[in-house]
Amino acid sequence: MNYDKLTEVMRKLAIEAGAKIMEIYESDDFDVELKSDDSPVTIADQAADALISAGLTAAFPDVALVTEEQSDSHDQDVDTFLIVDPLDGTKEFINRRGDFTVNIAYVENGVPTRGVVYAPARQRMFFTLADGSAVEEVGDFDLTTIGETRAIHVSDADNDALMIVASKSHRDQATDDYINKYAVKDSKSAGSSLKFCLVATGEADLYPRVGRTMEWDTAAGHAVLAGAGGQVVRFDDHSPLVYGKEGFANPFFIAFAPSVDLKPA
């Protein structure tokens, strides 16, 4: 894989998809449908998926592509592939709360090694460089030229005063029970893969997810967090979270700065 080209293409497609999403987001109304699993989907999901899929297929025709909106047709036996959630946080989008992202990632041998997370309504952009390190870009997000970036890195956590981030739409008692095992200074909620990015920038130390997710929900954020020195492990046994699983479904997991003293499930 040409990682320089990969970074350029993923970033450009995320910006283009973000512009399409925002065009619909800022319109007076849009239709919401339910998929077979009763999760919502909008024309923005579908338009962004079509745009990103076409761009990735043109740039990397020999690399397997997995996207949320086309998941039923994907080869289930892959461990190196591109994976896309064109609009992560559809509920945030529908309710016009802003915490939605475009997620594009590259998984190698079951590990997300490169990715981009773009939150167009928040004007925040996180991605991995060719060497795998993670940055946040600030500025106007020009399509052809990467603007000013700052390297990001996970926190040196204070285990007596941890900063926790949890799901905005899916927080439940099981999540709170686990969080209560820690000495918490502050707990915040965020939508979509932004939670991974808040750990990657040191704005949070720990993100536990005790709930259903799919690989396209997490791969890009996982790659950004890993590039910032963070880790993502299974909730049950703290082994690394791997990709290319049957049905692309994730177990519960924990994303964290390695300086956090993890508690058992």
SS3 66: strand
Q: Is 191 exposed, middle or buried (0-12, 13-18, 19+ CB in 10 A)?
A: buried
Q: Is 65 annotated as a binding residue?
A: no
Residue type, 222: H
Nearest to 23 by CA among 55, 41, 54, 48: 48
Q: Is 225 annotated as a binding residue?
A: no
The token pair that represents 53 in the structure block: 């899929």
Between CA 69 and CA 44 the distance in angstroms is: 11
Q: Is 68 annotated as a binding residue?
A: yes
Q: Is 6 annotated as a binding residue?
A: no
Q: Is 131 annotated as a binding residue?
A: no
Nearest 5°: the CA angle 190, 192, 198 is 55
Q: Is 87 annotated as a binding residue?
A: yes
The CA-to-CA distance between both ends of the chain, in Å, stands at 37
Q: Is 186 annotated as a binding residue?
A: no
Q: Is 205 exposed, middle or buried (0-12, 13-18, 19+ CB in 10 A)?
A: buried
Between CA 220 and CA 196 the distance in angstroms is: 9
Annotated binding site for substrate: 68, 87-90, 217
Annotated binding site: 68, 85, 87-90, 217
Annotated binding site for Mg(2+): 68, 85, 87-88, 217
